[in-house]
Chains A and B, each alone.
Chain A
Amino acid sequence: MAVSEEVKKTIESRGLKVADIEKLVAEAKASKNMITNGSKFIAKKQMGDMVVYADFNEDGSINSAYGHKMKILDIVMDTSDTEWTYVKTGAKIRKGHTNLSYLGATRSAPSLVDPASGESWLEEYLAAKTIAVAEMLFSQKRA
Protein backbone atom coordinates (compact mmCIF):
# COMPACT_ATOMS: atom_id res chain seq x y z
CA MET A 1 0.00 0.00 0.00
CA ALA A 2 1.22 3.49 -0.80
CA VAL A 3 2.18 5.51 2.25
CA SER A 4 4.11 8.72 1.69
CA GLU A 5 7.00 9.65 3.96
CA GLU A 6 5.00 12.57 5.34
CA VAL A 7 2.02 10.38 6.21
CA LYS A 8 4.36 7.79 7.71
CA LYS A 9 5.82 10.49 9.95
CA THR A 10 2.37 11.64 11.08
CA ILE A 11 1.30 8.06 11.82
CA GLU A 12 4.43 7.32 13.82
CA SER A 13 4.27 10.64 15.67
CA ARG A 14 0.86 9.52 16.93
CA GLY A 15 2.31 6.32 18.37
CA LEU A 16 0.81 4.14 15.64
CA LYS A 17 2.49 1.57 13.41
CA VAL A 18 2.23 1.80 9.63
CA ALA A 19 1.93 -1.99 9.37
CA ASP A 20 -1.10 -1.95 11.70
CA ILE A 21 -2.76 0.73 9.61
CA GLU A 22 -2.14 -1.21 6.40
CA LYS A 23 -3.72 -4.27 7.99
CA LEU A 24 -6.68 -2.17 9.15
CA VAL A 25 -7.22 -0.90 5.60
CA ALA A 26 -7.00 -4.39 4.11
CA GLU A 27 -9.51 -5.75 6.62
CA ALA A 28 -11.88 -2.83 6.07
CA LYS A 29 -11.81 -3.28 2.30
CA ALA A 30 -12.51 -7.01 2.67
CA SER A 31 -15.36 -6.56 5.17
CA LYS A 32 -16.69 -3.23 3.80
CA ASN A 33 -16.72 -2.05 7.40
CA MET A 34 -15.90 1.56 6.52
CA ILE A 35 -17.55 4.84 5.62
CA THR A 36 -17.02 6.88 2.49
CA ASN A 37 -17.81 10.40 1.35
CA GLY A 38 -17.36 9.41 -2.29
CA SER A 39 -13.73 10.43 -2.50
CA LYS A 40 -12.13 8.73 0.48
CA PHE A 41 -12.78 6.18 3.23
CA ILE A 42 -12.51 5.97 7.01
CA ALA A 43 -12.26 2.67 8.86
CA LYS A 44 -11.70 2.00 12.55
CA LYS A 45 -10.53 -0.82 14.76
CA GLN A 46 -9.99 -1.32 18.48
CA MET A 47 -6.27 -1.98 18.98
CA GLY A 48 -5.39 -2.58 22.62
CA ASP A 49 -6.53 0.48 24.57
CA MET A 50 -6.96 2.61 21.47
CA VAL A 51 -9.56 3.06 18.79
CA VAL A 52 -7.46 3.47 15.65
CA TYR A 53 -8.68 4.99 12.39
CA ALA A 54 -7.32 4.86 8.85
CA ASP A 55 -8.20 7.54 6.32
CA PHE A 56 -7.53 6.10 2.87
CA ASN A 57 -8.40 6.19 -0.83
CA GLU A 58 -10.10 3.64 -3.06
CA ASP A 59 -6.71 2.37 -4.31
CA GLY A 60 -5.67 1.70 -0.71
CA SER A 61 -3.23 4.60 -0.44
CA ILE A 62 -3.29 5.99 3.07
CA ASN A 63 -3.97 9.68 3.71
CA SER A 64 -3.67 9.59 7.48
CA ALA A 65 -4.21 7.57 10.64
CA TYR A 66 -5.17 8.61 14.11
CA GLY A 67 -6.62 7.25 17.30
CA HIS A 68 -8.09 7.95 20.69
CA LYS A 69 -8.06 6.22 24.04
CA MET A 70 -11.64 7.10 24.91
CA LYS A 71 -13.81 4.04 24.43
CA ILE A 72 -16.79 4.40 22.10
CA LEU A 73 -20.13 3.68 23.78
CA ASP A 74 -23.68 4.43 22.65
CA ILE A 75 -25.01 7.12 20.31
CA VAL A 76 -26.50 10.01 22.30
CA MET A 77 -28.29 11.68 19.39
CA ASP A 78 -28.18 12.22 15.66
CA THR A 79 -29.14 15.54 14.14
CA SER A 80 -28.57 15.79 10.38
CA ASP A 81 -27.41 13.95 7.28
CA THR A 82 -23.80 14.08 6.15
CA GLU A 83 -22.01 13.33 2.90
CA TRP A 84 -20.84 10.02 4.37
CA THR A 85 -22.26 6.55 3.70
CA TYR A 86 -21.68 3.28 5.56
CA VAL A 87 -20.25 1.01 2.85
CA LYS A 88 -21.28 -2.18 4.63
CA THR A 89 -25.01 -1.36 4.63
CA GLY A 90 -25.40 1.62 2.31
CA ALA A 91 -26.89 3.62 5.19
CA LYS A 92 -26.57 7.40 5.18
CA ILE A 93 -24.26 8.48 7.98
CA ARG A 94 -25.61 11.17 10.30
CA LYS A 95 -23.98 13.94 12.23
CA GLY A 96 -24.40 13.23 15.94
CA HIS A 97 -22.93 12.77 19.36
CA THR A 98 -21.62 9.62 20.97
CA ASN A 99 -20.86 8.73 24.55
CA LEU A 100 -17.20 8.03 25.16
CA SER A 101 -15.73 6.65 28.35
CA TYR A 102 -12.28 7.19 29.76
CA LEU A 103 -10.82 6.63 33.22
CA GLY A 104 -14.25 5.82 34.59
CA ALA A 105 -16.03 8.90 33.25
CA THR A 106 -18.57 8.93 30.43
CA ARG A 107 -18.94 12.08 28.33
CA SER A 108 -20.28 12.84 24.88
CA ALA A 109 -18.46 14.15 21.83
CA PRO A 110 -19.38 15.08 18.25
CA SER A 111 -19.24 12.13 15.88
CA LEU A 112 -20.43 10.56 12.66
CA VAL A 113 -23.07 7.97 13.48
CA ASP A 114 -25.13 5.20 11.96
CA PRO A 115 -28.19 4.91 14.22
CA ALA A 116 -29.23 1.59 12.65
CA SER A 117 -26.06 -0.27 13.54
CA GLY A 118 -25.12 1.87 16.55
CA GLU A 119 -21.68 2.51 15.05
CA SER A 120 -19.84 5.81 15.55
CA TRP A 121 -16.71 7.30 14.01
CA LEU A 122 -14.67 10.32 15.05
CA GLU A 123 -13.12 12.54 12.41
CA GLU A 124 -9.41 13.29 12.48
CA TYR A 125 -9.66 16.90 13.66
CA LEU A 126 -11.64 15.76 16.69
CA ALA A 127 -9.53 12.76 17.63
CA ALA A 128 -6.18 14.43 17.06
CA LYS A 129 -7.06 17.76 18.65
CA THR A 130 -10.21 18.01 20.78
CA ILE A 131 -10.24 14.48 22.14
CA ALA A 132 -6.46 14.35 22.58
CA VAL A 133 -6.62 17.45 24.81
CA ALA A 134 -9.69 16.05 26.57
CA GLU A 135 -7.80 12.83 27.38
CA MET A 136 -4.92 14.87 28.76
CA LEU A 137 -7.32 16.92 30.91
CA PHE A 138 -9.08 13.76 32.13
CA SER A 139 -5.73 12.35 33.22
CA GLN A 140 -4.82 15.57 35.03
CA LYS A 141 -8.21 15.95 36.67
CA ARG A 142 -8.34 12.34 37.82
CA ALA A 143 -4.87 12.69 39.39
Chain B
Amino acid sequence: MGYEELFPENDKSGWHANAAKRFASPFVDNFHDRIDVDPIILSNAAVQCGFTIRDFYEKPELGIHCVGYISELFDLLPVTHWFFSLPWVRELGVTLEYKDTLPPVSTGPIMQVADIENLEIISKEDLLKGSTVPLFYNMYDYVAKNLGHTLVPISYGFDICGAGSELIGVEEFIMATFTEQDLAHKLVDTYVGTAINGAELMADKYGFAMLIVGSVLANNDIFADEQIEEFSAKKMGFYVDQCFRRGAGPQIFYHMCGNQETSYKVFKRNLVWSPFTVTHIGYMGQKEFPSDILKQEFQDVSTCMGSVDTKLMINANPKKVYEHAKDSLLKGRDAKKGFILGTSCETPPYTIPGNLLALTRAARDFGTYGTW
Protein backbone atom coordinates (compact mmCIF):
# COMPACT_ATOMS: atom_id res chain seq x y z
CA MET B 1 0.00 0.00 0.00
CA GLY B 2 1.36 3.44 -0.89
CA TYR B 3 1.26 6.29 1.59
CA GLU B 4 -1.26 8.08 -0.62
CA GLU B 5 -3.83 5.46 0.34
CA LEU B 6 -3.65 6.60 3.97
CA PHE B 7 -5.03 10.07 3.30
CA PRO B 8 -8.26 11.47 1.90
CA GLU B 9 -7.69 14.04 -0.85
CA ASN B 10 -7.46 17.70 0.10
CA ASP B 11 -10.50 19.83 -0.60
CA LYS B 12 -8.99 21.19 -3.79
CA SER B 13 -11.79 23.43 -5.03
CA GLY B 14 -12.64 24.80 -1.59
CA TRP B 15 -9.82 25.06 0.93
CA HIS B 16 -6.89 24.68 -1.44
CA ALA B 17 -8.16 27.07 -4.10
CA ASN B 18 -8.66 29.80 -1.52
CA ALA B 19 -5.38 29.08 0.28
CA ALA B 20 -3.52 29.24 -3.05
CA LYS B 21 -4.93 32.70 -3.78
CA ARG B 22 -4.00 33.83 -0.29
CA PHE B 23 -0.49 32.38 -0.61
CA ALA B 24 0.07 34.28 -3.85
CA SER B 25 -1.29 37.56 -2.55
CA PRO B 26 1.75 39.07 -0.80
CA PHE B 27 3.90 38.49 -3.87
CA VAL B 28 1.59 39.98 -6.48
CA ASP B 29 0.09 42.85 -4.49
CA ASN B 30 -3.34 41.31 -4.97
CA PHE B 31 -4.41 40.97 -1.36
CA HIS B 32 -6.81 38.15 -0.69
CA ASP B 33 -8.62 36.99 2.41
CA ARG B 34 -6.02 37.54 5.15
CA ILE B 35 -2.34 37.23 5.97
CA ASP B 36 -1.04 33.68 5.64
CA VAL B 37 0.18 31.52 8.52
CA ASP B 38 3.32 29.38 8.25
CA PRO B 39 4.32 27.66 11.51
CA ILE B 40 7.04 25.79 9.57
CA ILE B 41 5.22 22.56 10.27
CA LEU B 42 7.41 19.48 9.90
CA SER B 43 7.29 16.39 12.11
CA ASN B 44 4.34 17.88 14.01
CA ALA B 45 2.29 17.06 10.90
CA ALA B 46 3.24 13.39 11.25
CA VAL B 47 2.45 13.39 14.98
CA GLN B 48 -0.96 14.92 14.30
CA CYS B 49 -1.66 12.19 11.77
CA GLY B 50 -0.74 9.44 14.24
CA PHE B 51 2.81 8.76 13.10
CA THR B 52 6.11 9.33 14.87
CA ILE B 53 8.86 11.91 14.53
CA ARG B 54 11.09 9.12 13.27
CA ASP B 55 8.50 8.17 10.66
CA PHE B 56 8.51 11.74 9.39
CA TYR B 57 12.25 11.75 8.72
CA GLU B 58 12.74 8.12 7.71
CA LYS B 59 9.82 8.15 5.28
CA PRO B 60 9.93 11.50 3.46
CA GLU B 61 6.97 10.68 1.19
CA LEU B 62 4.82 9.90 4.23
CA GLY B 63 6.14 12.98 6.01
CA ILE B 64 5.38 15.39 3.21
CA HIS B 65 1.95 13.89 2.70
CA CYS B 66 1.22 14.54 6.38
CA VAL B 67 2.25 18.20 5.86
CA GLY B 68 -0.02 18.54 2.82
CA TYR B 69 -2.93 16.89 4.59
CA ILE B 70 -2.77 18.59 7.97
CA SER B 71 -2.27 22.07 6.48
CA GLU B 72 -5.93 21.99 5.50
CA LEU B 73 -7.01 21.51 9.14
CA PHE B 74 -5.43 24.80 10.23
CA ASP B 75 -5.86 26.62 6.91
CA LEU B 76 -2.08 26.96 6.45
CA LEU B 77 -0.02 27.17 3.27
CA PRO B 78 -1.28 25.36 0.15
CA VAL B 79 2.23 24.09 -0.65
CA THR B 80 4.23 21.24 0.87
CA HIS B 81 7.74 21.11 2.25
CA TRP B 82 9.88 18.50 3.97
CA PHE B 83 13.40 18.98 5.19
CA PHE B 84 15.97 18.50 7.88
CA SER B 85 18.89 20.73 8.76
CA LEU B 86 21.74 18.64 7.34
CA PRO B 87 21.27 18.15 3.60
CA TRP B 88 24.44 17.45 1.56
CA VAL B 89 26.63 16.51 4.54
CA ARG B 90 26.36 12.78 3.91
CA GLU B 91 27.96 13.26 0.50
CA LEU B 92 30.81 15.06 2.29
CA GLY B 93 31.34 12.03 4.54
CA VAL B 94 29.20 12.66 7.62
CA THR B 95 27.08 9.75 8.91
CA LEU B 96 23.58 10.64 10.01
CA GLU B 97 21.64 8.68 12.58
CA TYR B 98 17.86 8.60 12.80
CA LYS B 99 16.41 9.22 16.27
CA ASP B 100 13.00 8.66 17.81
CA THR B 101 12.55 12.24 18.95
CA LEU B 102 14.85 14.28 16.71
CA PRO B 103 15.63 14.93 13.08
CA PRO B 104 18.63 12.95 11.79
CA VAL B 105 21.80 13.94 13.67
CA SER B 106 25.48 13.50 12.91
CA THR B 107 27.24 10.61 14.65
CA GLY B 108 30.22 12.93 15.08
CA PRO B 109 33.03 14.77 13.34
CA ILE B 110 34.85 12.97 10.55
CA MET B 111 38.03 15.01 10.29
CA GLN B 112 40.47 17.35 12.00
CA VAL B 113 40.74 21.02 11.11
CA ALA B 114 43.97 20.37 9.16
CA ASP B 115 42.15 17.83 6.96
CA ILE B 116 39.95 20.58 5.52
CA GLU B 117 42.81 21.27 3.07
CA ASN B 118 41.86 18.08 1.25
CA LEU B 119 38.13 18.73 1.04
CA GLU B 120 36.57 19.04 -2.40
CA ILE B 121 33.17 20.18 -3.61
CA ILE B 122 31.02 17.19 -4.54
CA SER B 123 30.28 17.16 -8.27
CA LYS B 124 26.82 16.90 -9.77
CA GLU B 125 27.64 13.42 -11.02
CA ASP B 126 28.61 12.24 -7.56
CA LEU B 127 25.61 13.94 -5.96
CA LEU B 128 23.36 11.91 -8.24
CA LYS B 129 24.93 8.78 -6.76
CA GLY B 130 24.61 10.07 -3.19
CA SER B 131 21.61 10.15 -0.87
CA THR B 132 20.32 13.75 -0.77
CA VAL B 133 19.41 14.24 -4.45
CA PRO B 134 17.72 10.82 -4.84
CA LEU B 135 15.83 11.49 -1.59
CA PHE B 136 14.44 14.78 -2.89
CA TYR B 137 13.85 13.46 -6.43
CA ASN B 138 11.84 10.52 -5.06
CA MET B 139 9.91 12.74 -2.70
CA TYR B 140 9.02 15.41 -5.26
CA ASP B 141 8.10 12.74 -7.82
CA TYR B 142 5.73 11.37 -5.18
CA VAL B 143 4.30 14.85 -4.55
CA ALA B 144 3.92 15.48 -8.29
CA LYS B 145 1.98 12.23 -8.60
CA ASN B 146 -0.13 12.36 -5.46
CA LEU B 147 -0.20 15.97 -4.24
CA GLY B 148 0.49 17.88 -7.44
CA HIS B 149 -1.57 20.85 -6.27
CA THR B 150 0.95 21.40 -3.44
CA LEU B 151 4.18 20.93 -5.41
CA VAL B 152 6.98 23.47 -5.10
CA PRO B 153 10.37 21.83 -5.73
CA ILE B 154 12.75 23.15 -3.09
CA SER B 155 16.51 22.92 -2.75
CA TYR B 156 17.94 23.41 0.69
CA GLY B 157 21.22 25.17 1.27
CA PHE B 158 19.98 25.52 4.78
CA ASP B 159 22.33 26.50 7.59
CA ILE B 160 25.47 27.34 5.67
CA CYS B 161 27.75 27.47 8.72
CA GLY B 162 26.04 24.90 10.90
CA ALA B 163 25.86 22.15 8.31
CA GLY B 164 29.45 22.63 7.20
CA SER B 165 30.67 22.68 10.78
CA GLU B 166 29.44 19.12 11.33
CA LEU B 167 32.47 17.81 9.45
CA ILE B 168 34.88 18.90 12.18
CA GLY B 169 32.44 19.45 15.05
CA VAL B 170 30.74 22.67 16.02
CA GLU B 171 33.21 23.63 18.79
CA GLU B 172 36.22 23.09 16.52
CA PHE B 173 34.56 25.14 13.82
CA ILE B 174 33.88 28.05 16.15
CA MET B 175 37.54 27.97 17.23
CA ALA B 176 38.69 27.77 13.62
CA THR B 177 36.80 30.94 12.73
CA PHE B 178 39.25 32.69 15.08
CA THR B 179 42.45 30.69 14.70
CA GLU B 180 42.31 29.07 11.24
CA GLN B 181 40.15 31.42 9.24
CA ASP B 182 41.28 30.25 5.80
CA LEU B 183 40.38 26.68 6.64
CA ALA B 184 37.07 27.70 8.21
CA HIS B 185 36.25 29.56 4.99
CA LYS B 186 37.25 26.57 2.90
CA LEU B 187 35.03 24.28 4.95
CA VAL B 188 31.98 26.49 4.50
CA ASP B 189 32.79 27.13 0.83
CA THR B 190 33.00 23.39 0.18
CA TYR B 191 29.58 22.88 1.72
CA VAL B 192 28.17 25.85 -0.22
CA GLY B 193 29.64 24.63 -3.52
CA THR B 194 28.12 21.21 -2.96
CA ALA B 195 24.74 22.73 -2.10
CA ILE B 196 24.88 24.85 -5.28
CA ASN B 197 25.46 21.73 -7.37
CA GLY B 198 22.51 20.16 -5.58
CA ALA B 199 20.28 23.13 -6.38
CA GLU B 200 21.29 22.93 -10.04
CA LEU B 201 20.28 19.27 -10.11
CA MET B 202 16.87 20.17 -8.71
CA ALA B 203 16.46 22.92 -11.32
CA ASP B 204 17.64 20.56 -14.07
CA LYS B 205 14.85 18.15 -13.23
CA TYR B 206 11.96 20.45 -12.30
CA GLY B 207 12.71 23.59 -14.33
CA PHE B 208 13.16 25.73 -11.24
CA ALA B 209 13.79 25.23 -7.53
CA MET B 210 12.87 27.38 -4.59
CA LEU B 211 15.91 28.04 -2.39
CA ILE B 212 15.84 27.80 1.38
CA VAL B 213 18.97 29.00 3.08
CA GLY B 214 19.66 30.20 6.58
CA SER B 215 21.92 31.45 9.29
CA VAL B 216 21.35 29.45 12.44
CA LEU B 217 24.68 28.58 14.06
CA ALA B 218 25.87 32.01 12.97
CA ASN B 219 23.96 34.07 15.51
CA ASN B 220 24.85 36.66 18.15
CA ASP B 221 24.96 34.14 21.01
CA ILE B 222 28.07 32.68 19.37
CA PHE B 223 29.51 35.15 16.90
CA ALA B 224 30.05 38.89 16.51
CA ASP B 225 28.37 40.65 13.62
CA GLU B 226 31.61 40.73 11.59
CA GLN B 227 31.94 36.93 11.75
CA ILE B 228 28.28 36.42 10.90
CA GLU B 229 28.76 38.65 7.87
CA GLU B 230 31.91 36.86 6.69
CA PHE B 231 31.00 33.26 7.43
CA SER B 232 27.25 33.32 6.88
CA ALA B 233 25.66 36.35 5.19
CA LYS B 234 28.21 36.62 2.37
CA LYS B 235 28.13 32.86 1.80
CA MET B 236 24.33 32.90 1.68
CA GLY B 237 24.44 35.67 -0.92
CA PHE B 238 27.00 33.75 -2.96
CA TYR B 239 24.90 30.58 -2.73
CA VAL B 240 21.80 32.30 -4.12
CA ASP B 241 23.73 34.20 -6.80
CA GLN B 242 25.33 31.00 -8.08
CA CYS B 243 22.06 29.05 -7.87
CA PHE B 244 20.40 31.72 -10.02
CA ARG B 245 23.21 31.45 -12.56
CA ARG B 246 22.52 27.70 -12.74
CA GLY B 247 18.75 28.04 -13.19
CA ALA B 248 17.50 27.57 -9.62
CA GLY B 249 15.22 30.06 -7.90
CA PRO B 250 13.53 32.51 -8.28
CA GLN B 251 11.79 31.85 -4.95
CA ILE B 252 13.94 32.31 -1.84
CA PHE B 253 13.22 31.76 1.83
CA TYR B 254 15.84 33.30 4.13
CA HIS B 255 15.67 31.88 7.64
CA MET B 256 17.85 33.54 10.25
CA CYS B 257 17.35 31.68 13.50
CA GLY B 258 18.85 31.97 16.95
CA ASN B 259 19.60 35.37 18.43
CA GLN B 260 20.11 37.89 15.60
CA GLU B 261 20.01 40.87 17.97
CA THR B 262 22.41 43.10 16.03
CA SER B 263 23.55 40.82 13.21
CA TYR B 264 20.24 41.29 11.36
CA LYS B 265 21.81 44.46 9.99
CA VAL B 266 24.49 42.58 8.02
CA PHE B 267 22.11 40.58 5.83
CA LYS B 268 20.41 43.16 3.64
CA ARG B 269 23.58 44.33 1.91
CA ASN B 270 24.93 40.81 1.41
CA LEU B 271 21.93 38.78 0.28
CA VAL B 272 20.34 38.50 -3.15
CA TRP B 273 16.73 39.64 -3.38
CA SER B 274 14.47 38.19 -6.05
CA PRO B 275 10.85 39.11 -6.80
CA PHE B 276 9.77 36.11 -4.68
CA THR B 277 11.77 36.43 -1.47
CA VAL B 278 10.57 35.86 2.08
CA THR B 279 12.75 36.92 5.03
CA HIS B 280 12.27 35.40 8.45
CA ILE B 281 14.24 36.08 11.64
CA GLY B 282 13.59 34.03 14.76
CA TYR B 283 14.86 35.89 17.79
CA MET B 284 16.23 39.12 19.14
CA GLY B 285 17.92 38.11 22.39
CA GLN B 286 15.62 35.65 24.08
CA LYS B 287 12.48 37.17 22.58
CA GLU B 288 10.74 36.85 19.25
CA PHE B 289 12.29 39.10 16.62
CA PRO B 290 10.04 42.19 16.52
CA SER B 291 8.00 42.41 13.35
CA ASP B 292 8.29 46.19 13.19
CA ILE B 293 12.10 46.00 13.04
CA LEU B 294 11.91 43.17 10.51
CA LYS B 295 9.59 45.30 8.40
CA GLN B 296 11.74 48.40 8.70
CA GLU B 297 14.88 46.57 7.63
CA PHE B 298 13.60 44.30 4.86
CA GLN B 299 10.28 45.53 3.47
CA ASP B 300 11.94 47.27 0.52
CA VAL B 301 13.33 44.02 -0.81
CA SER B 302 11.29 41.17 0.59
CA THR B 303 8.07 39.80 1.98
CA CYS B 304 8.51 39.66 5.77
CA MET B 305 7.65 36.69 7.98
CA GLY B 306 7.04 37.46 11.64
CA SER B 307 7.62 35.15 14.57
CA VAL B 308 5.76 33.71 17.54
CA ASP B 309 8.17 31.99 19.93
CA THR B 310 8.17 28.24 19.30
CA LYS B 311 8.31 27.62 23.08
CA LEU B 312 4.78 28.98 23.31
CA MET B 313 3.57 26.35 20.87
CA ILE B 314 3.94 23.59 23.47
CA ASN B 315 2.61 25.70 26.33
CA ALA B 316 -0.99 24.94 27.33
CA ASN B 317 -2.10 28.52 26.78
CA PRO B 318 -3.57 29.21 23.34
CA LYS B 319 -4.57 32.72 24.43
CA LYS B 320 -0.90 33.61 24.92
CA VAL B 321 -0.09 32.37 21.42
CA TYR B 322 -3.00 34.41 20.11
CA GLU B 323 -1.75 37.56 21.87
CA HIS B 324 1.82 37.15 20.59
CA ALA B 325 0.49 36.49 17.09
CA LYS B 326 -1.68 39.60 17.33
CA ASP B 327 1.33 41.68 18.33
CA SER B 328 3.39 40.31 15.43
CA LEU B 329 0.57 40.95 12.96
CA LEU B 330 -0.14 44.49 14.10
CA LYS B 331 3.53 45.42 13.87
CA GLY B 332 4.18 43.79 10.52
CA ARG B 333 0.98 43.56 8.53
CA ASP B 334 1.49 46.71 6.49
CA ALA B 335 4.94 45.66 5.27
CA LYS B 336 5.34 47.03 1.74
CA LYS B 337 5.88 43.68 0.05
CA GLY B 338 3.53 41.66 2.23
CA PHE B 339 3.64 39.80 5.50
CA ILE B 340 3.32 36.19 6.68
CA LEU B 341 2.73 35.12 10.28
CA GLY B 342 5.20 32.46 11.35
CA THR B 343 6.76 30.85 14.37
CA SER B 344 10.39 31.58 15.28
CA CYS B 345 11.52 28.26 13.87
CA GLU B 346 10.00 24.86 13.10
CA THR B 347 6.94 24.42 15.28
CA PRO B 348 7.81 21.68 17.81
CA PRO B 349 6.81 18.08 17.09
CA TYR B 350 4.36 18.05 19.99
CA THR B 351 2.81 21.42 19.24
CA ILE B 352 -0.62 21.67 20.80
CA PRO B 353 -3.32 21.83 18.10
CA GLY B 354 -5.11 24.59 20.03
CA ASN B 355 -2.00 26.74 19.63
CA LEU B 356 -1.93 26.28 15.86
CA LEU B 357 -5.57 27.28 15.80
CA ALA B 358 -4.67 30.36 17.85
CA LEU B 359 -2.24 31.46 15.11
CA THR B 360 -4.87 31.09 12.42
CA ARG B 361 -7.50 32.77 14.56
CA ALA B 362 -5.22 35.75 15.12
CA ALA B 363 -4.51 35.96 11.38
CA ARG B 364 -8.24 35.96 10.70
CA ASP B 365 -8.85 38.65 13.32
CA PHE B 366 -5.87 40.94 12.64
CA GLY B 367 -4.25 39.70 9.46
CA THR B 368 -5.16 42.29 6.92
CA TYR B 369 -2.42 44.31 5.37
CA GLY B 370 -3.54 47.47 7.12
CA THR B 371 -4.40 49.12 3.84
CA TRP B 372 -7.60 47.31 2.86
Contacts and interface: CB of A to CB of B under 8 A. Distances in A.
B244 A107 contact: no
Given A79-B269, A97-B273, A109-B273, A142 B28 contact: yes
Contacts of A141: 24, 27-28, 30
A35 B337 CA distance: 31
Contacts of B245: 125, 129
A14 to B, nearest CB: 15
Contact of B29 (A105, A108, A130, A133): A105
Interface in B324-345: 337
Interface in B205-251: 207-208, 241, 244-245, 247, 249-251
Of A105, A106, A125, chain B has the most CB atoms within 10 Å of the CB of: A105
Contacts of B108: none
Nearest to B336: A106
Contacts of B28: 103-105, 138, 141-142
Nearest to A124: B245
A130 B274 contact: yes
B296 to A, nearest CB: 15
A76 interface: yes
A105 to B, nearest CB: 4
A47 interface: no
B241 A110 contact: yes
Contact of A106 (B29, B30, B244, B249): B29
B369 to A, nearest CB: 13
A100 B273 contact: no
B353 interface: no
A140 B5 CA distance: 30
B183 interface: no
Looking at chain B's contact residues, is the secondary structure mostly helix, strand, loop, or mixed? loop
Contacts of B29: 104-106
B198 to A, nearest CB: 17
Contacts of B270: 79
A130 B244 contact: yes
A77 interface: yes
Contacts of B244: 110, 125-126, 129-130
A104 B27 CA distance: 11
B300 A131 contact: no
B275 A110 contact: no
A141 B251 CA distance: 13
Given A130-B244, A133-B208, A105 B30 contact: yes
A62 to B, nearest CB: 21
B269 A77 contact: yes
Interface string B293-314: 0000000110000000000000
Interface string B263-293: 0000011101111100000000000000000
B30 A110 contact: no
Contact of A109 (B27, B247, B274): B274
A122 B296 CA distance: 27
B125 to A, nearest CB: 22
A109 B269 contact: no
Contacts of A106: 29
B301 A137 contact: no
B159 to A, nearest CB: 23
A107 B272 CA distance: 13
Contacts of B251: 137
A91 interface: no
A138 B250 CA distance: 11
B337 A104 contact: no
A26 interface: no
A79 B273 CA distance: 12
A134 interface: yes
Given A76-B300, A105-B30, A108-B300, A133 B269 contact: no
Contacts of B208: 133
11 contacts: A76-B300, A97-B301, A104-B28, A104-B30, A105-B275, A107-B276, A129-B249, A133-B250, A138-B28, A138-B275, A140-B24
Given A100-B275, A105-B27, A133-B208, 6 more contacts: A79-B270, A107-B276, A110-B241, A131-B250, A138-B27, A142-B24
Q: Which 8 pairs between the two chains have the least Cβ-Cβ distance? A: A107-B275, A141-B24, A105-B29, A134-B250, A130-B250, A134-B275, A105-B28, A125-B245
